[in-house]
Each structure stands twice: as structure tokens, then as C-alpha cells.
Amino acid sequence: MTWLRNAITLLLFIVVSTGVGCNAETRHDAHADQDVVLLGDSNTWLGGDDCTGVKGWGKWFAEEYRPGSIRSYARSGATWTNTVNTVVDTREYSEVLGDNNVIYNQVMRLVEDFEADKVAEPELVIISAGTNDAWFVNRRPRAMESHDADCLPTLDLAGAKPSEVLTMQESVVMCCGLLRQRFP
């Protein structure tokens, strides 16, 4: 049931953020001053890097939300969870499950592109991933392990190598921490 709760939460976020149900004048260019970045797996990747692919939700989100810019770093096959072989790799392009096709490397590509002035600093980063972690547990055997929720704020993963962060819970903490640090 957790997946259903997450799906409903995402849907509500999109509905509330896009102003669905408001009249067009209220929504017109309401977010033109915001730059948006999408990270994720195939569900997000379908829209393409420029979010224009008609099969991807990113296209419809962009049309309704109307941000100043939108860019997707999502890749089919991506997981939150790293493996013992995961390294920083911002160049590899993969559309299948792999050691370096992880959200961490999408975050690092975003940081690299921002530092090279290829993208604006995002005001909103949406991450939609986790399907592949759940489906391919045999390839991510520690994915569903978890820490006591009380210790999460104390996890210091800032200096950790991605190959040391092997659970989805740790990966979320690490990636979101990096995003908060780079794009406060």
C-alpha cells in the first residue's frame, strides 16, 4: 500500500502545484520565474531531456505548470539505490539497470551542468523514482533495508562514496542532502 500512498501523494502534488481547477487567468505564467529539474526513472524519462515527449508526464506538467525552464535528467532503468560498484559518472548514458544508472549520478550531472552554466539554478527539483529498486531487488539486495527513522537526521553521508550508500533510505538522504547543499 505504500506505493499507492506515494502515487496519490505525487498526484496531489501535481494537481495542487499546477493549479488544476483554477481558471486560466489565475495560472497564466504563475511559475514563469521558476526553473524546474526532473530526476527519475523511465516514468519520467519518457518525456525526454527537454520534457516534450508526449508519453511522459513531464510534458504535461510543463504545459500546466509553465515554469521558466524545465529539464529532465531522468533515465530509464535508474534506481535510487547504488551498488558496491557505483562511481561518480556524469557521462554515461544508459537506459537499463546498471551500477551507475542511479539518482546520485543524475544529481551530479545537474550540479556539473549548473557549474558550467548549462542550466539555471533550480527552484524546484522533482524526483520520481523507486520502481526499479522494488522490481529488481535481486540486483539491489540491500535496497529495502532501513535505519530507525530517529537516526536519519544524524546520518552523515556528505563525504560518503556512492558505493558505500547501498540502501534506498540512505540514498534518498544522501541525494536530497546534496541537492539542499547545492541548491538551498
Domain segments of the chain: what residues? Answer: 30-182
CB atoms within 10 A of CB 82: 30
pLDDT digits (tens, 9 = 90+) for 16-28: 444 444 444 455 6
Give mean pLDDT, residues 36-58.
94
Instruction: Tell me which of 4-8, 69-73, 88-92 is least confident.
Output: 4-8
CA distances from 161 to 23, 114, 175 (A): 48, 21, 12
3-state secondary structure of 163: helix
30 pLDDT above the threshold of 60: yes
Greater model confidence, 74 or 9: 74
Grid coordinates of 64: 500546466
CA-to-CA distance for 39 and 113, rounded, in angstroms?
Answer: 14
CA-to-CA distance for 184 and 178, rounded, in angstroms?
Answer: 10
The DSSP element (H or E) to which 39 belongs, if any, is strand 35-40
Q: Residue 180: pLDDT band by 50, 70, 90 thresholds?
A: very high
pLDDT digits (tens, 9 = 90+) for 118-163: 999 999 999 999 988 888 888 887 778 877 665 555 566 767 899 9
CA-to-CA distance for 137 and 152, rounded, in angstroms?
Answer: 22
Greater model confidence, 104 or 5: 104
